[in-house]
A and B are shown apart, each in its own frame.
Chain A
Amino acid sequence: MPITSLKRIIRGGFLNFKRSGLVSWAAVLVVTITLSVITLIIFLQAMLHFSLTQIKDKVDVTIYFTVNAPEDKIMSLKSSLEQLPEVATVSYTSASDALKLFRDRHASDYPTIQALDEIGDNPLGAYLNVKAKEVSQYENIANFLKSDDSLMLGSSSIIDKVNYHQNKLIIDRLNTIISGAQKLGFLITLLLVIISIIITFNTIRLTIFISKEEIGVMRLVGASKMHVRGPFMIEGAIYGVVATGITLILFWPATAWLGRNMTDFLGINMYNYFISSFWQIFSILLLSGVGLGIISSFLAVRKYLNK
């Protein structure tokens, strides 16, 4: 397309936007609402992600060893566990450390400390704390401990108990909840986005419906389809750009307030999140807004062009 035509189309779009007055601003308002919904969804996803990570972090498996278990055997088990692809970290707590932690924890519980003193020896064994990369992988780790590999290391004789089997029910349930929450979040996102798109499309269609007659006149005067359609598409793009600006300006003070007052409740500082992901959010909003505006206008004008 020649540069002059492109220039005329762009100028026409800006003029249309300016002269349509209230109608333009009504369309901008609706696109702003759609973009706000998208921004809210981005924040909710961030919150969900943050909470799920925190919950996942609290799940672990502890392997308790017998009192006499030799440290080199424990360490060889530790290193073979660390080689498993599912394992994120393995931390070792020696028998003496375990005793120290126990004493600290029960410092105010006099009878327990006294009983411990009576025994004289350290009744506690060492333990390994294993964290998996994914909650669903704990079962594999537990299976590994029962398997031949670990038997060969002679570790089965030194393992007192593995708390996975006690925690299995909780871990499984948590796993279901996490994947359910992710699926539900995705579904709600999809639904909200679809509803917003339909509402925006219809609003833009209405603004173009007002120009139905004019589109016919333009065609009668001999304007090509692109010459008629172009300015409307530019106008749609302007809705998107202006709405992106308004949405970002609105969310600035809103997230600042949330960051100052609701960080404990939400578990994440929304203002910090907004600032750190600003360019990412900006790109998503701009692309959605401009895309929605252009595509809606294109489709809406097409209906009257072919008449």
Chain B
Amino acid sequence: MIYFNNVSKIYKDATALDDITFTIEAGEFVSFVGHSGAGKTTLTKMILAEENPTEGTVFFESINVNKMKNNDLTKLRRRIGMVFQDYKLLSNKTAYENIAFAMEAVGKTEEEIMSDVPHVLELVDLSHRTMHFPSQMSGGEQQRLAIARAIINQPELIIADEPTGNLDPVNTHEIVQILKKINDLGTTVILTTHNRGVIESVGKRVITMENGKIIRDTKNNK
């Protein structure tokens, strides 16, 4: 599904990614682990073509994402659900509207929105927060809302970039369980984290990064 071919990214003086090559199959749950600055976020941005590689190519289902036109990129991003450390919710929209917006973006009808949104809010245990704004919700609730938004359009891939970075252990555990459940339903999940505990509770393929290089991939070690 995703193929990085000898990808390097160099910002002025700093090397963010150094000759990275790996493949992710559809339906996998892959965790990228490493310290801050190891290159995890740069890597996720490249899948979305938010950043272009200095060298090498990034493929999403055998299409070079860096050669995509603006319109195609919009369509690509609709197939990927993003979850961020800082949630990136729309602050002047309610929980319901945040999810509805993602559905409107892909052209869903009002009926679909009215039937799907309550469903997904229930899935992440936020039914009681439907009409609340993000600022009226706790960190864990905001992150669950962000996940709900990411999965509402049934994407093929979920990228969760440090989703538990701002959360306490209880909320962290909940988020990991939700992501596992999503993966069990067939969606590919990419998770980045610097928290070893998270990796252990996931218990799936782990790619360890350091200074922009892959130093360990549990898939190859098996």
- CB contact list, B16-63 vs A, under 8 A: 48
Count of A-B residue pairs with CB < 8 Å: 51
Which residues of chain A come closer than 8 Å to B101, judged between CB atoms? Answer: 218, 221, 223
Roughly how many angstroms separate A213 CA and B87 CA in the complex, as a whole number? 12
> Does A217 lie within 8 Å of B90, measured CB to CB?
yes
Roughly how many angstroms separate A8 CA and B97 CA in the complex, as a whole number? 11
Roughly how many angstroms separate A5 CA and B97 CA in the complex, as a whole number? 15
Roughly how many angstroms separate A224 CA and B72 CA in the complex, as a whole number? 11
> Does A222 lie within 8 Å of B91, measured CB to CB?
no
- CB contact list, A210-234 vs B, under 8 A: 213-214, 216-224, 227
> Does A221 lie within 8 Å of B110, measured CB to CB?
no
Which residues of chain B come closer than 8 Å to A4, judged between CB atoms? Answer: 109-110
Which residues of chain A come closer than 8 Å to B74, judged between CB atoms? Answer: 219, 222-224
Q: Verify if A51 is at the interface (C-beta below 8 Å from B).
A: no
Which residues of chain B come closer than 8 Å to A20, judged between CB atoms? Answer: 92
Which residues of chain B come closer than 8 Å to A216, judged between CB atoms? Answer: 88
Q: Verify if A16 is at the interface (C-beta below 8 Å from B).
A: yes
Roughly how many angstroms separate A19 CA and B105 CA in the complex, as a whole number? 21
Q: Verify if B67 is at the interface (C-beta below 8 Å from A).
A: no
- CB contact list, A167-222 vs B, under 8 A: 213-214, 216-222
Q: Verify if B184 is at the interface (C-beta below 8 Å from A).
A: no
Nearest CB on A from B40, distance (A): 17
Roughly how many angstroms separate A155 CA and B97 CA in the complex, as a whole number? 89
Which of these, A2, A16, A224, contacts B105 with CB under 8 Å?
Answer: A224
> Does A221 lie within 8 Å of B92, measured CB to CB?
no
- CB contact list, B87-129 vs A, under 8 A: 88-93, 97, 101-102, 104-107, 109-110
Roughly how many angstroms separate A15 CA and B82 CA in the complex, as a whole number? 25
> Does A221 lie within 8 Å of B48, measured CB to CB?
no
Roughly how many angstroms separate A128 CA and B97 CA in the complex, as a whole number? 81
Roughly how many angstroms separate A213 CA and B105 CA in the complex, as a whole number? 17
- CB contact list, B76-92 vs A, under 8 A: 77-78, 82, 88-92
Which of these, A5, A214, A218, contacts B91 with CB under 8 Å?
Answer: A214
Roughly how many angstroms separate A16 CA and B97 CA in the complex, as a whole number? 12
Q: Verify if B9 is at the interface (C-beta below 8 Å from A).
A: no
Which residues of chain A come closer than 8 Å to B88, judged between CB atoms? Answer: 213, 216-217, 220
Which of these, B97, B105, B107, contacts A221 with CB under 8 Å?
Answer: B105
Which of these, A8, A19, A213, A222, contacts B106 with CB under 8 Å?
Answer: A222
Nearest CB on B from A198, distance (A): 27
Roughly how many angstroms separate A5 CA and B104 CA in the complex, as a whole number? 8
> Does B77 lie within 8 Å of A222, measured CB to CB?
yes
Nearest CB on A from B51, distance (A): 12
- CB contact list, B149-180 vs A, under 8 A: 149, 153
Which residues of chain A come closer than 8 Å to B48, judged between CB atoms? Answer: 220
Residue of A nearest to B100 (CB): A8
Nearest CB on A from B81, distance (A): 9
Roughly how many angstroms separate A105 CA and B96 CA in the complex, as a whole number? 88
Nearest CB on A from B50, distance (A): 8
Which of these, B92, B97, B105, B109, contacts A222 with CB under 8 Å?
Answer: B105
Roughly how many angstroms separate A224 CA and B92 CA in the complex, as a whole number? 19
Roughly how many angstroms separate A19 CA and B149 CA in the complex, as a whole number? 21
What are 12 contact pairs spanning A and B, CB under 8 A? A5-B107, A213-B88, A217-B88, A218-B101, A218-B105, A220-B77, A222-B74, A222-B75, A222-B77, A224-B105, A227-B104, A227-B105
Given A221-B101, A222-B77, A222-B105; 6 other pairs, CB 8 A cutoff: A4-B109, A213-B88, A214-B90, A219-B77, A222-B153, A223-B101
Query: Residues on B close to A: CB < 8 A?
Result: 48, 74-75, 77-78, 82, 88-93, 97, 101-102, 104-107, 109-110, 149, 153
The 5 closest A-B pairs by CB, nearest first: A222-B78, A223-B105, A19-B92, A222-B77, A221-B102
